[in-house]
Amino acid sequence: AVPLVVAVSTSLAARSGLLIRDRSAFERAKDLQAVVFDKTGTLTEGRFGVTDVITFSDVNEDEILGIAASLEIRSEHPIAKGIVESAKERGIEIKDVEEFRAIPGKGVEGVVNGRTFRIVSPGYLKENRISIEDERIERIAGEGKTVVFVMENDAVLGAIALADRIRPESREAVKKLRSMGIKCMMLTGDNRFVANWVAKELELDDFFAEVLPHEKAEMIKKVQDQGLTVAMVGDGVNDAPALAQADVGIAIGAGTDVAIETADIILVRNDPRDVVDIITLSKATYRKMF
Ligand code: ADP
Ligand code: MG
């Protein structure tokens, strides 16, 4: 039988917008020493708007956006949605794409009118030893924006900068957790300039940037190897293995099905401050049971 106090607090939790799927994880929440947040869609709203289009060639801005949107219309990524929206706003034609494929954690690829294009991360360029020295890119990176590059074969035609917003609730969540002595960290596939900017804004204890999807769970394991009991908070398909690895896996309610199915606890209100409630409620529930 479920002890009365646990049953009561489970319904209390439900009323606070917490869906507890694994009661033992809820119990472990009282011992948490670190919380690792995914960036995009968790600490930030995950809604990107295009702020700058930069060309490195005789291809103009609208053409850069048009190529990108033609590929991105096939992707579910928040960056993709921002690019497509911006192209539509500017009345740019979206063309048919063939041989589309996602390059997980790095970008997308496809063929338009017989030409092969790729929209990729700065990390992808680095891996392929392509260096871009451009003061416009440096300035944009310093502003905490996400940058993707538009390539045709091995040539970089241009770049698109996008901005997302930090959720106002994230500040309060981090502040409260840290005042409880809990370390706050961030994990992201995005570039280290953006990560550094968000980490500074939120006064995070640590962050890991340019993390590939398959590395997210390994990063959680590394934090656990430091002897810390750790929660992971995420929303994306890429976050699922990390949610499973963490001592407490927490999904944002508006997240992907995969994240929600993998998590121990779901934040129905999509509010990172509810992580504080999980811990407080867990402490109150299990404190006197031993
Ligand atoms: P996050 O951890 O922020 O959810 P992802 O692992 O999904 O990030 O993506 C990491 C990086 O890979 C993005 O910041 C972007 O540079 C690149 N990327 C991923 N998907 C796409 C896409 N559809 N179009 C362009 N770039 C992408
Ligand atoms: Mg995310």
Q: What is the CATH number of the domain that holds 104?
A: 3.40.1110.10
For residue 267, the tally of other CB atoms under 10 A from its CB is 26
Record the pTM: 0.87
Residues 80 and 105 occupy one common structural domain: yes
Mean pLDDT, rounded, for 193-200: 93
Residues 154 and 82 occupy one common structural domain: yes
User: Dihedral through CA 89, CA 38, CA 245, CA 5, nearest 10?
Assistant: -110
Q: Does ligand 1 have an atom closer than 6 angstroms to the CB of 77? A: yes
Residues 285 and 188 occupy one common structural domain: yes
Residues 36 and 172 occupy one common structural domain: yes
Residues 17 and 123 occupy one common structural domain: no
Please report which confidence band the pLDDT of residue 11 belongs to, taking 50, 70 and 90 as the band edges.
Answer: confident
Mean pLDDT, rounded, for 185-190: 95
Ligand 1 center from residue 72 Cα (angstroms): 11
**Phi and psi at residue 184, in whole multiples of 5°?**
-110, 125
Catalytic site positions: 38
Residues 40 and 62 occupy one common structural domain: no
CATH number of 272's domain = 3.40.50.1000
What is residue 2's predicted lDDT score, i.e. its pLDDT? 62
Domain ranges, residue 284: 4-44+166-289
* Domain end point (choices 139, 163, 187): 163
Instruction: Evaluate whether 158 touches 64 at the Cβ level (below 8 Å).
Output: yes
Residues 31 and 116 occupy one common structural domain: no
Residues 72 and 149 occupy one common structural domain: yes
Q: Is the pLDDT of residue 263 over 70?
A: yes
Q: How many separate domains does the chain show?
A: 2
CB within 8 A of 106, min separation 6: which ones? 120, 121, 123, 124, 212
Q: Which tens digits make up the pLDDT trace of 200-249?
A: 999 999 999 999 988 999 999 999 999 999 999 999 888 999 999 999 99
Residues 34 and 61 occupy one common structural domain: no
* Domain end point (choices 163, 194, 214): 163
Ligand 2 center from residue 16 Cα (angstroms): 23
Q: Does ligand 1 have an atom closer than 6 angstroms to the CB of 40? A: yes
Least confident piece of the model among 112-116, 230-234, 257-261: 257-261
* Interface pTM, i.e. ipTM: 0.95
Residues 185 and 274 occupy one common structural domain: yes
Ligand nearest to the CA of 235: 2
Q: Is the pLDDT of residue 55 over 60?
A: yes
Mean pLDDT, rounded, for 264-277: 94
Alpha helices in 145-273 (DSSP H): 168-179, 192-202, 216-225, 240-245, 257-262
Map 136-170 to HEC letters. HHHHHHHCCCEEEEEEECCEEEEEEEEECCECHHH
What is residue 247's predicted lDDT score, i.e. its pLDDT? 98
Ligand 1 center from residue 34 Cα (angstroms): 25
Check residues 152 and 104 and name the one with the higher pLDDT: 152
Quick one: which atom of ligand 1 is closest to the CA of 76? 23
Q: What is the mean pLDDT of the chain?
A: 93
Q: Is the pLDDT of residue 290 over 60?
A: no
Q: Is the pLDDT of residue 172 over 60?
A: yes
For residue 212, the tally of other CB atoms under 10 A from its CB is 14
Residues 68 and 156 occupy one common structural domain: yes
Residues 181 and 267 occupy one common structural domain: yes
Please report which confidence band the pLDDT of residue 276 belongs to, taking 50, 70 and 90 as the band edges.
Answer: very high
Mean pLDDT, rounded, for 132-139: 88
Which of 36, 51, 54 shows the shortest CA–CA distance to 182? Answer: 36
Q: Is the pLDDT of residue 1 over 80?
A: no
